[in-house]
Structure 1
Amino acid sequence: MTSDSLHILVVDDDARLRALLQRYLVQNGYLVSVAADAGEARRALSHIQFDLIVLDVMLPDKDGIELTGELRRELDVPILLLTARGEPEDRIAGLERGADDYLVKPFEPRELLLRVTTILRRVRPSRGAAPGGSGVVRFGPFSFDPDALELRRGEEPINLTNGEAALLRILCMQPDQPISRAELGARSRISGSDRAVDVQIVRLRRKIEDDSKQPRYLLTMRGAGYVLRTKG
């Protein structure tokens, strides 16, 4: 994947940070637009199709987590949240509203670039990567490529957030075997509490189950954790 044609929207009311991130991302080959608040972001989104949004939680005119929820209902664009609040409950709130990832301030620009690259690699897999390789795990009508982090229902790709893809990859590595919440949290990039894992599981079920309250594939094993059923 090349970054030259990918367009990122940076939304932050800190003018210095906004300029720093714009300059750094442009130097690394991205197209970058900026907005100082939710209103400016909305105006930009109304006439430009972005590949990713970097969104500060503390905006002057609207809470960034609230805006994330609104955007997720309208758009399929990945969202990376920036937050000065590092408490697990704040991070969980962002994930619940549909954020793909979060980064706690202060951070190094290189770390943000890594997060951006990881998200875009996942949602825009290499054109040369064909589904159906030997490592693909199948369950029901679904197939998951753990290398490309690509989920498909038949031939239709299904968008996953970073957290959802990380969990599904771990579950696919041990299909039909229960994995505890603690292990899932430790092996994935999800941290903070068992609830953070539960939030991602709920969201993942909504994408792979006909009835997320009566799952057929992603099951809860009382006292043992979660299991991905691929047999039967």
Structure 2
Amino acid sequence: MPHILMIDDDTELCQLVAEYLAMDGFSLQAVHNGKQGLLAAQQGQQDLVLLDVMLPGLDGLSLLKALRQQRYCPVMMLTARGDDIDRILGLELGADDYLAKPFNPRELVARIKAILRRVELIQQDNSTSSPILSVNGVELNKHNRQVSCQQQLLTLTATEFQLLELLMLRHGELVSKEELSKSVLGRHLQQYDRSLDMHISNIRKKLAHCSEQDKIQTLRGSGYLFLSGPA
């Protein structure tokens, strides 16, 4: 039974989500304070964290930043509708996805399942192909989920890892935003959803720490291309 940790000070919402997730075979632990939520998340007993931005004790963005410095755990941010800044900051700090309140419980379940599928795919051994991808100075190991650039280890979220893997597998080829969104995020590309762009931006920033070359090219309105070699 997948275990979800929900950190949100809205007790009624937590109860509603717990009841809805139970129907899909999930268990949920609710914590209503940011500092207590961070302690619970650090224990590592959950498969995914639902994290509200506005929290007493410690806000959600500060909590996410502290958590990412210690361990990786899939995190979905819960933001107020229209709070684009919070969504962007959350993705920059390493959130795997976000969902605006108020939300449809069915969409919440679908998003949770999509994230957990991404993590499961990463963790599975791929017996039909080499576990190592090496393209243009970047090496990606599918077995231990490690990525290195010019021999420097990088820390990626599950979403970033899978996006990079797909782009590297198709290096030298344009991959459309729609394909990336469906294959990795598990949903059709939406007009005002910037999460895909933010994930790619995060990957670029991490690669930039060890290479002056921008290894991912953007074709505006079309998609992204991972360069096969130096331009």
Shorter-chain TM-score tier = 0.7 to 0.9
Q: Distance in 2 between matches of 1:225 and 1:163?
A: 16
Structure 2, unmatched stretches of 5+, are 147-155
Tell me, yes or no, if the aligned pair for 2:51 and 2:60 is still in contact at 8 Å: yes
Aligned to 2:145, the other structure's residue is in SS state: strand
1:38 aligns with 2:34: yes
Aligned to 2:56, the other structure's residue is in SS state: coil
Tell me, yes or no, if the aligned pair for 1:205 and 1:215 is still in contact at 8 Å: no
Q: Distance in 1 between matches of 2:109 and 2:222?
A: 36
Aligned residue number for residue 9 of structure 1 = 5
Aligned to 1:59, the other structure's residue is in SS state: coil
Aligned residue number for residue 157 of structure 1 = 145
Return the offset for 1:208: 5.6
What is the root-mean-square deviation in Å for CA atoms of aligned residues? 3.7
Return the offset for 1:26: 2.5
Whichever residue aligns with residue 119 of structure 2, its letter is: V
Whichever residue aligns with residue 159 of structure 2, its letter is: N
Return the offset for 1:201: 2.6
Q: Distance in 2 between matches of 1:226 and 1:162?
A: 16
Change (3 A) 1:216 1:155: farther
1:228 aligns with 2:216: no
Whichever residue aligns with residue 153 of structure 1, its letter is: N
| TM-score, normalised with respect to structure 2 | 0.72
Q: Distance in 1 between matches of 2:197 and 2:44?
A: 34
* Deviates further, 71-80 or 34-43: 34-43
Q: Distance in 1 between matches of 2:8 and 2:179?
A: 31
Aligned residue number for residue 201 of structure 1 = 200
Q: Distance in 1 between matches of 2:219 and 2:108?
A: 36
Change (3 A) 1:211 1:85: same
| Deviation by residue 1:101-153 (Cα, 9 ceiling, x = unmatched) | 0001111111111111111111122876625449x97525767xxxxxxxx42
Aligned residue number for residue 184 of structure 1 = 177
Change (3 A) 1:79 1:222: closer
- Mapping 1:71-220, distance limit 5 Å: 71-125=67-121, 130-133=126-129, 139-140=135-136, 152-153=140-141, 155-158=143-146, 159-162=156-159, 165-166=162-163, 169=166, 171=167, 175-177=171-173, 184=177, 188=181, 199-205=198-204, 211-212=210-211, 214-215=212-213, 217-219=215-217
Q: Distance in 2 between matches of 1:106 and 1:223?
A: 29
Aligned residue number for residue 152 of structure 2 = none
Return the offset for 1:68: 1.3
Tell me, yes or no, if the aligned pair for 1:39 and 1:61 is still in contact at 8 Å: yes
